[in-house]
Amino acid sequence: MTDTARPPTPASDDPGDVAPGRYDRQVRVGGLGRDGQARLGAATVVVVGVGATGGAAADLLVRAGVGRVVLVDRDVPELGNLHRQVLFDEDDVRAGLPKAEAARRRLARVNSSVAVEARVKDLDASNALALLGGADLVVDGTDGFQTRHVVNDACALLGVPWIYTGVVGTAVHGFPIVWGETPCFRCYLPELPPPGAVPTCDVAGVLGPTVAVAAGFAAAEALKLLAGRREQVARGLLVVDVWTREARLLRLERDPACPACARAPDLLERAPPPAARLCGRDAVTLPPPGGRVDLPALAARLAGLGALERSNAFLLRVAPHDAPGLRLTVFADGRAIVDGTDDPARGRALFARLVGA
């Protein structure tokens, strides 16, 4: 698909703007002001993953007048997304457009003074620098720790701050990464958890309001950074449960041995190899993202999501109810095969949804 772009138009409150006074209530906020608004209008943000949290955060940033917003996503909208992915509707599901393009069209109608661009790509170590290059800030809307490690490492090499945000069930986790000032994602999670060790949205579910809370915090931190208010950026890991209304801010420490904080030049070379097509077979193979898998525990969690066709000491195989024609096989060492597609991005998306990492 051809990427669509318009030259960015700086957002302003001048009489010649698309809508005079459009940002009037926003610039009245003491932490922002007209100087901060002008900075927003000159900024570029890349949102990686525009499903639930990423899509809602992108909507807030476009409405706030960020000059250029680039949307990176590999997937298409599905009916089961709509309770939490606010940029899409039933027409988008029927049209089958990629999420990045459907989101671009929606956001272009929200604020015509913002340049919104779509990148229908599966971000990995081979293309991360190209996709994130030129950004003033990156916002995380991804669904797996492996991709977040790649985002973290690419941002380290580029010197670009980014906002990590995770949502599962009714819980929000997140913190901003500012190089040289805060811990990074590798400081927080040096190694990827074994596949299946951390619940995913498909297993634990996700409540729609949780996404709204997560996106609100992510967008607020993004606006602080873009407006030059770095001293007001949150320091620590925010954990919020929207169901119990519990909230904590946990202290994080920088790891003096962290290769990302040290900007090690081989950072992206450390990432696991990407998914690959299997020769002569309608399937893709996925390398192990972490340690060994507790297959019985994973089988128990996946049993309600599809037909569990096989489970033993060596592997498990499941045919998900919501992905007809696909079959996921996970091996004890973390390797996986997705039958029914020769698209590595589709294979990775299924693995991330069901297993995580």
Which architecture does CATH list for 24-269? 3-Layer(aba) Sandwich (3.40)
CATH superfamily of 273-354: TATA-Binding Protein (3.30.310.10)
Angle formed at CA 208 by CA 206 and CA 211, multiple of 5 degrees = 85
User: pLDDT by residue (tens digit) across 135-179?
Assistant: 999 999 998 888 899 999 999 999 999 999 999 999 999 999 999
> Which pLDDT value is given to residue 180?
94
Q: What is the DSSP letter of 304?
A: G
φ, ψ at 283 (rounded to 5°):
-160, 160
User: What residues contact residue 154 under an 8 Å CB cut-off, 6+ apart?
Assistant: 125, 128, 129, 132, 267, 268
User: What residues contact residue 16 under an 8 Å CB cut-off, 6+ apart?
Assistant: none
pTM reported for the whole predicted model: 0.80
> Which pLDDT value is given to residue 357?
62
Q: How would DSSP label each residue in 150-214?
A: HHHHHHHHHT--EEEEEEEBTEEEEEEE-TTTS--HHHH-SSPPPTTSS--HHHH-B-HHHHHHH
User: pLDDT by residue (tens digit) across 1-50?
Assistant: 444 444 444 444 443 344 558 999 999 998 899 999 999 999 999 999 99
Q: What is the DSSP letter of 275?
A: P
> Which pLDDT value is given to residue 228?
94
Domain ranges of the chain: 24-269, 273-354
CB 267 within 8 A of CB 156: yes
CB 246 within 8 A of CB 306: no
